[in-house]
Amino acid sequence: MWQLNWTDTTLIDWHKLAEVLTYDPRQPMIFSSGVFLLLFLGFSFVYMLLQKRTTARLLFVTLFSYYFYYKSSGVYFFLLGTVTVTDFWLAHVMDRTQSPLKRKGLVATSLLVNLGLLCYFKYTNFFYEMLAPLWGGEFHPLDIFLPVGISFFTFQSLSYTIDVYRRDLRPLDSLLDYAFYVSFFPQLVAGPIVRARDFIPQIRRPLYVSSEMFGQGIFLIVSGLFKKAVISDYISVNFVERIFDNPGLYSGVENLFGVYGYALQIYCDFSGYSDMAIGIALLLGFRFPINFNSPYKSDSVTDFWHRWHISLSTWLRDYLYISLGGNRKGKFRTYVNLILTMLLGGLWHGASWNFIVWGGLHGVALAVHKFFRSLLKRPKTYRSTGIRRFFAVLITFHFVCFCWIFFRNTTFEASLTMIRQIGTAFHPEVFVQLVTGYWKVFALMGVGYLLHWCPDRWQDACGRLVVRTPLVGQALLLIALIWLVIQVKSSDIQPFIYFQF
């Protein structure tokens, strides 16, 4: 008689499943991975079952968000809990305190906790390297793990305590609601930085996802996945990394197009993540503000920062620039505040002199633009047109690209080498050979820049078309894109660039 031998036959490889579901530092959880797509399908099923049970749904999403962060940074998810509990309690005490001095002490404590964590994990080795020579010691980097997205959730939580301190916001009564806000997984590890005043009113609102929200969410997920997994990853692995790893081995024209490639790569990578985060939030019934608005169409550095990483630039404006005095203390102080804000914004991105130079260049450019705008008595709403706008956009784009050289290189020497190659060893005769050898990369770069510079109404029309498409058509569109990603992807999943920040 035939018997099923359970010792030899297993329907599930439990060891393999455990490996997939536990933290792997080589493969952090990202939206474009197959593991996330499968988990999100299961998550969505439970999420809809809890549609009318608000508290249970919030608890379920919060637990999933903590698991999502665990898959990104391992046991360091406890930092997320530390920030959440500390700022929730401080905000409550602050709201009940009338003494201005005590309120300042409480908000200072929040700053100390959040920025203290940020400084320890991101800047300990940076300052240690600078200070070691003062006492004649040798610098040996400490083995400090950088938790993914710590810059984002600390800034997001700080916006809450500062708003409560300024009495622009009443504190939440429920720790669960606050934990949901801080940990909400679509924007947890790479933004956008969502303000408490924008998000908190949505938390206990009855769950409703209209057909327009669903279609718009699908469109954003598809466009974000295409930008990240097709354009950004391909040109990064097959061209950009090679140039930036050894800029001295390549001619100036190769270095220049490597910079153009990186400008497109970082835009597609980061805006692609933001698109997917906003799209996933829409599928769950939540609205996030736009984080990118075709930044390379900018006709000035000021315009660029109105379009690039909008959630960070507005955070720096509202909580740093204005706190420094903004434009309220005279023109000279305004220019100094702009430069200081961008220097600190550069340092926010990482503990490197390259980031400080990148931020400083943008700060000086913002100050210079503001100076000439006041000199010419042009209002803030002024926009150049025609041939003047063409050259303004061209100059702004190349200034931004020049700054990307410092942002991307890991050493200051490599940045100078790249600039020297472009300036003194250009060799334009290599261009035809370059395009021939990397024709797929250049084709994708052409597609990426064309999509970026196409009129906004074309993008809006595509979004409306996806919204009007039946559900089956939307599903087929997503499946077709996933198939395309599989065809062009590299052997390893490429983490999002802003995971390191």
Q: Which amino acids are annotated catalytic?
A: 349
Query: Quick one: how many helices (H) and strands (E) in the chain?
Result: 22, 0
**What's the burial of 11, exposed, middle or buried (CB within 10 Å: 0-12/13-18/19+)?**
exposed
Q: How far apart are CA 74 and CA 23, in angstroms?
A: 5
Q: How far apart are CA 54 and CA 73, in angstroms?
A: 28
- Nearest CA to 114 out of 104, 122, 125 is that of 122
Could you count the other beta carbons within 10 Å of the beta carbon of residue 134? 7
Burial 156-174 (b: 16+ CB within 10 A, else e): bbbbbbbbbbeeebebbee
Inter-residue contact 466 to 223 (CB < 8 Å) = no
Output the six-digit token pair for 360.
């400083």
Q: What share of the chain is helix, strand, coil (3-state, %, to 5)?
A: 75, 0, 25
Q: Which amino acid is present at 171?
A: P
Inter-residue contact 304 to 295 (CB < 8 Å) = yes
Q: How far apart are CA 223 and CA 481, in angstroms?
A: 9
The three-state secondary structure class of 137 is: coil
Inter-residue contact 484 to 230 (CB < 8 Å) = yes
Output the six-digit token pair for 39.
């988990």
Could you count the other beta carbons within 10 Å of the beta carbon of residue 276? 27
Q: Helix H segments across 284-375? A: 301-307, 310-316, 331-349, 353-375
Q: How far apart are CA 30 and CA 273, in angstroms?
A: 9
Q: How far apart are CA 499 and CA 478, in angstroms?
A: 25
- E strand or H helix that includes residue 383: none
